[in-house]
Homo-oligomer: A and B are copies of this chain.
C-alpha cells in the first residue's frame, strides 16, 4: 500500500519533496511583501530554517516556548503573536529579546503595560476582522485603542495585525478572496484614520495568496501551507498531491464486512473537525470513509466485503495539520516514497 515499511505505525510522515514545493510556491505568491510563516503548523526547527532559506523574512510563533526553541535554532526575527502576561513570561520575553528581534501582538493597554516592563518593545495591535476572538473592530474602536497604547512608555506601535480564522468556513474561492481583501482594507483604512504609517500584517493559509496582492498589505503569516490538510482541500487551496503531512497507519481489525479499524485515533489525529463528513481523508482511497475516532482507534467504512485487510497500511490526511504536529516527538521525513530521516518536533508541547 505504501513504501517505507521500516516505519512502525502510527507515524507522522512528512514528504520533504512536497514540503519544499509548498514553501517555494508560497514564497513566490508573496513576492514583494514579507512572508512570516507561523511555525505552529510544524514546530520543527529544520522546517523553520527551510522557510527562512526560501525567503521568509522571519517567523511567527504563538507561545514563548515555541519562540525560545526557534531562537535556539537560529531564527532571529520573531513575531510573538500572543498577548504576554505575568512575571515568568515577561522574564522570558526579556531574555528572548537579547538574542532575537522580537515583536509582540496584543489588544489592550493592560498587556502593553506588561510588555513595556521588558523595555522598548515594538508591538502589533490586533484587529478583529470577523473571527470574534481578539481585537476591537476596525476603524474608530481600534484607533482609540492605538492612541492609548501609543502613550504607554516604551511601546512602539509598529503595525496592525489580524487573523482571518473565519475564512475556514468559506464555501468558494470567491468568498475567500473577498475575506482576504476585506481584512487588508479594514486594516489599511484603520491605519489611515490613525494617521501614521503602519505595517499591515494578515494571516491564514486560505487567504494568504489573495491577501498578498492587495494594495497596502506588508506581511502575511500563513502556517498550514507547509503541510496542507483536509481543511485546505475542502477550501480548494490544496489537493491530495500538495498534502505533505500524513498519518501512516495499520489496519488492525475488520470486525464487520463494511467496517475497518486502524491504529490511529484522536491521539494521532486530534478531534479537530470530528464528525464532519470527510473531515479526515484516506489518501488515494476515495472508496474508504472515516467514521469516528476514539483515542487509539480510527473507525472507517468500506463497501461490504471490500476494503483493506488486517495488516494493510493506509495514509490518513488530518483535518487540521497544526495540532497534529503537537502530538508527535518526531516526524518521519520521506522522499520519493522512501524514508529519509527523522525530524525533531522540538517545539511540541510548549504550552507556555
Q: How far is the CA of A51 from the CA of B255 in the complex (A)?
A: 33
Interface status of A261 (Cβ within 8 A of chain B)? yes
Asked if A295 contacts B110 (CB within 8 A), the reply is no
Contact flags (1/0) for A82-97 with B, using CB distance below 8 Å? 1101101100000000
Q: A11 to chain B: which residues have CB within 8 Å?
A: 351-352
Q: Taking the complex as formed, is A234 at the interface, i.e. its CB lies under 8 A from any CB of chain B?
A: no
The chain B residue sitting closest to A10, CB to CB, is B351
Q: For the complex, is A259 an interface residue (Cβ under 8 Å from B)?
A: yes
If A165-B294, A294-B165, A329-B349 touch, whether A85 touches B133 (CB-CB below 8 Å) is no
A214 at the interface (CB under 8 A from B): no
Q: Is A170 an interface residue (CB 8 A)?
A: no
Inter-subunit contact B255/A135 (CB<8 Å): yes
Residues of B within 8 A of A311 (CB): 85-86, 110
Instruction: Tell me the A318-352 residues at the B interface (CB within 8 Å).
Output: 322-323, 326-329, 349, 351-352
* A40 CB-CB contact with B under 8 Å: yes
Q: Does A132 contact B (CB under 8 A)?
A: yes
A82→B36 CA distance, assembly (Å)? 43
Query: Shortest CB–CB separation between residue A293 and chain B, in angstroms?
Result: 10
Which chain B residue has the least Cβ–Cβ distance from A254? B108
- Residues from chain B with Cβ under 8 Å of A254 in the complex: 108
**Interface residue stretch chosen among A70-78, A154-162, A269-277:** A269-277
Q: Is the CB of A133 within 8 A of B8?
A: no
CA distance A340 to B328 in the complex (A): 29
- Give every chain B residue within 8 A of A85 (Cβ-Cβ): 250, 252, 263, 310-311
Question: Does any Cβ of B come within 8 Å of A228's Cβ?
Answer: no
User: Distance (Å) between the CB of A275 and the closest chain B CB?
Assistant: 9
For A83, what are the chain B residues with a Cβ–Cβ distance below 8 Å?
A: 252-253
Tell me the minimal C-beta distance from A105 to chain B in angstroms: 11
How far in angstroms is the closest Cβ of chain B from A89? 7
CB of A9 closer than 8 Å to a CB of B: yes
A38 to B322, CA, bound (A): 28
Q: Mark A230-260, 1 if CB is under 8 A from B, else 0.
A: 0000000000000000000010111110010
Say if the beta carbon of A63 comes within 8 Å of chain B. Answer: yes
Rounded to whole Å, the gap between the CB of A61 and the closest CB of chain B is: 10
Instruction: Pick the residue among B89, B110, B252 that contacts A8 (CB under 8 A).
Output: B89
Contact A134 B297 (CB under 8 A): yes
Q: Are A136 and B271 in contact (CB under 8 A)?
A: no
Q: With contacts A259-B132, A271-B271, A351-B267 known, is A327 near B328, CB below 8 A?
A: no
B310 with A323: CB separation less than 8 A: no
Give complex CA distance A314, B20 in Å. 42
* Chain B proximity of A160: nearest CB distance (Å): 14
Contact B111 A252 (CB under 8 A): yes
- Find the B residue at minimum CB distance from A128: B255
Q: Which of B40, B62, B273, B352 contacts A10 (CB 8 A)?
A: B352
Contact yes or no, B268 A271, CB < 8 A: no
Contact of A351 among B89, B322, B328 (CB under 8 A): B328
The 8 residue pairs across chains A and B that have the minimum distance between CB atoms = A271-B271, A8-B88, A110-B310, A83-B252, A62-B296, A271-B272, A134-B253, A10-B351
- Beyond A110-B310, A266-B270, 6 additional contacts (C-beta under 8 Å) are A8-B86, A108-B255, A111-B310, A133-B255, A267-B326, A271-B271
